[in-house]
Amino acid sequence: MRAFAVLMMIQGHAIHAVLDGSYQTSNLFLYDTWQFLRAFTAPFFIFVSGTIFTFLLFQNEFTIRENPRIIKGVGRGVSLILIGYLLRYPTIKLFNLSAVSHSQWLTFFTVDALHLIGTGMLSILLVSFIAIKVRVNILLAFAILVILLFYYSPIVSSIAWGNSVNIFITSYITFQFGSQFPLFPYLIFMFLGAILGILLSQKWDLLDNLKKIFDIFFIGIIAIFVSYFVNTNYSNILLRIGVVVFMLSIFGFAARYIKSPPKIIESFARNSLWLYIIHLIIIYGSPVSIGLFQIVGKTLSAEISILIAVIMLILMTIISLGIDKLRVTKYNIFRKV
C-alpha cells in the first residue's frame, strides 16, 4: 500500500508540475479522472503511514524502557518536520534573511505531507501515552479524536484568521495561508491509520478474513455514497475517508492472491521517505537548486508530461534499488533509516 501511494505521488507531482495549465479548464474526461484520483493519493499515503507506525509501535509494551520505538518515533517525527522546513527554506544564506520576501516566508511556513506525518507521529505517541496513563481504551481515544476532527474541520476552515494570528501555528490548522495538508482535516487519516495499526497489532484478521474484507469494502462504498448527500462542508472529507477505506479493501483482496510482492515493490515501500524527498527536489527544486517546475513550468503537452512521469518513475526505481545496494554494504546512513 505504501509503495502504491509513493508511485501515485511521484507521477502526480511530475505531471502536475509540467502539464500546461489550459488542461485544468479543458473539461477532458481523462484529465478530470486523473485529477479526481490524484486527490486521494495523499490521504491514502497518510493513512498507510499512520497504520505502519502504530502497528510497529504496539509490537511491544508501551513503555519507554521496554519499547525502543517510542524514542525512535519521536526522532522520526521531529526529523520529518525539520526536513519539511529544510526543503522549503527560502534562501541559501542560513542566517542572512533580510532579502527574504513575505511570499517566501509564506511558502516556508506552508505545511505539507512531511510536516503532517511528522506531527501525526508525535500526536499518536502523545495520545497513546495519555490514554494509557488515564486508563482509557486507546482505540476509543483515537475514534473520539477522528470524530472531533471530522466535526470541527469545516468550522476551523471557515474562520477568518487574518494576519494577526501567528502564522507558524495557523499554518498547521488551516488552508488559508497556503498549507496543503493542515491538521484539520488530514490528521483524521493519520488517526484512522493508527486505529487499523492497533487492531492489526492485536492480531485482528481484518485483512486475512474474506468476510471482514467485504465488510471494509461495503463500509467504504457506503461512506462514498453518503458523501454525496451530506452537508457540502463535510462531503469532501467523508468522500476521501470512503475512498481510503475502499482502497484498503482492494489491497486486502489482492493480498489473498499475491503472497509475495515483487522485490521492486518492497524496495519502494522500504525507501519511501528517500524517494519522496528526492523526487520533490528534482521536480520542485530546493534552496540550492532548481527543479523541473522552475525550468519548464506548466507549459508541456499531455504526451510529454506523461513521458516525464514515466521517466521519473524509472529514475526513482533505479535510485531505490541503488539505496538497497548501499544499505547492505557499508553506508550506515541508509542501513539505519
- Secondary structure (H, E, C), 286-316: ECCECCHHHHCCCCECHHHHHHHHHHHHHHH
Phi first, then psi: what are they for 331, rounded to 5°?
Answer: -95, 100
pTM, full prediction = 0.91
pLDDT on residue 96? 67
Lowest mean pLDDT among 146-155, 234-243, 296-305: 296-305
pLDDT on residue 192? 97
Mean pLDDT of 81-101: 79
Q: What is the percent of the chain where pLDDT is above 90?
A: 57
The answer on pLDDT for 337 being more than 60 is: no
Structural domain of 250: 2-336
Q: Work out the number of other CB atoms within 10 angstroms of the CB of residue 115.
A: 25
Sorted by sequence, the CB contacts under 8 Å of residue 85 that are 6+ apart come out as 108, 115
User: Would you place residue 106 in the very low, low, confident or very high pLDDT band (cuts 50, 70, 90)?
Assistant: confident
Q: What is the mean pLDDT of the chain?
A: 89
User: Would you place residue 205 in the very low, low, confident or very high pLDDT band (cuts 50, 70, 90)?
Assistant: confident
Asked whether the CA dihedral 106, 107, 109, 111 is positive or negative, the reply is positive
Q: In angstroms, rounded to a whole number, what is the distance separating the alpha carbons of residues 80 and 114?
A: 5
pLDDT on residue 333? 59
Sorted by sequence, the CB contacts under 8 Å of residue 21 that are 6+ apart come out as 298
pLDDT on residue 90? 80
Measure the N-to-C terminal CA separation of the chain; round to a whole number of Å: 19
- Over the stretch 157-195, which tens digit does the pLDDT of each residue have? 888 877 657 888 889 998 888 899 999 999 999 999 999
Residue type (1 letter), 56: L
pLDDT on residue 48? 95
Domain count, the chain: 1
pLDDT on residue 80? 94
